[in-house]
Amino acid sequence: MAKRMFFVASDLPFEADQWRRLEEAIAPDHMRVVDPRDNDAVSSALAGAEAAILAGDLDQRFIAAPALKWVHCNHAGLTRSARPEVFERGLIVTGSAGRSGAALAEHVMMFSLLLCSRYPDFYEAQKRQEWRRTAEMANLRALYGRTIGILGMGHTGKELAKRAQAFEMTVLGYRRRDQPLPDGVDRMYCSDRGEGIDEILEQADILALVLNLSDATHHLIGAAQIARMKPSALIVNLSRGGVIDQDALIAALKEGRLAGAGLDVTDPEPLPAGHPLWDTPNVLLTPHFTAALPDKTERSLATIIENIRRYRDGQEMLNRLREEDLWSKS
């Protein structure tokens, strides 16, 4: 049997031992390490490559590669790779979702704790060296006993459910496929069963968005959805900025129809100076950045190596893009 050629991007964040293990996983096939910035080298390598392992998203050079059948993008959100022409070509595209699930779940809990306790107000008082209590403090509530709605029950959603359960919260989940109930989830809603998110919106004290951005989820949360939520509710978004209609979110926060929002993602990114989100009340912003797990790179490598095995054996691959993930808007 002829040996396959694997195109491997040189900017993958691996140490020497990890590169060695990747090469061993690819053997007896050939591994060609290429600088993705060198267009001539990329063109030469892609002429015969059957598979490619990239640090970021694929681009037109890979979509047009005649022999290419599989591309692995070494990150979680594959929206930019979910192009119509990818599905038209039948190209297999996979990612490294799950490598940061625990850290992303902690990020949601951080936003939730800070917003529920109104910690930014306390911090500002601390900087002014003010020791004071106000009547508003009587309305502060712990996470205990609250309801969290998690839209997206992939790796991050499952990790978040476990952490919310530890805080003795009621956990409502929403996902596409009808699968066994994950640990920590009290009630699962599923689009495959014809269920929507209205009941979650109405019950949630905290609405956590940890699902992929696609044509189907673009502006999933807009004015009509926010109108169903409690005025005391919070929205936390670690998905992509486009999952929320930001104009509707800003209006609701300014008018007191939502209690607050924690946003690690915005539309656009970076958020430009002068954008109204900077001055919207009760908003916490982080610049699309989550603390790294100590074994993040090892998790990425393990996913790649497992997918190499599955690709050779013709098995279902981990974190594969589906047509329902299509992103055609940009």
Residues forming the active site: 240, 269, 288
Q: In 233-326, which ranges are continuous DSSP H helix?
A: 246-254, 296-313
Q: In 167-280, which ranges are continuous DSSP H helix?
A: 198-203, 223-227, 246-254
Count Cβ atoms below 10 Å from residue 196 Cβ, excluding itself: 11
Residue 247: closest CA among 213, 218, 271, 277: 277
Residue 82: closest CA among 97, 103, 100, 99: 97
Count Cβ atoms below 10 Å from residue 87 Cβ, excluding itself: 16
Q: Which two tokens stand for residue 82?
A: 């979910």
CB 153 within 8 A of CB 209: no
Q: Which residues contact 63 (CB under 8 A, 6 or more apart)?
A: 83, 85, 86, 89, 91
CB 291 within 8 A of CB 106: yes
For 119, counting Cβ atoms within 10 Å of its Cβ (0-12 exposed, 13-18 middle, 19+ buried), the class is middle
Buried b (16+ CB within 10 A) or exposed e, 149-182: bbbbbbbbbbbbbebbbebebbbbbbbbeeeeeb
Beta-bridged to residue 173, according to DSSP, are: 150, 188
Q: For 53, which DSSP code?
A: E
CB 206 within 8 A of CB 112: yes
For 83, counting Cβ atoms within 10 Å of its Cβ (0-12 exposed, 13-18 middle, 19+ buried), the class is buried
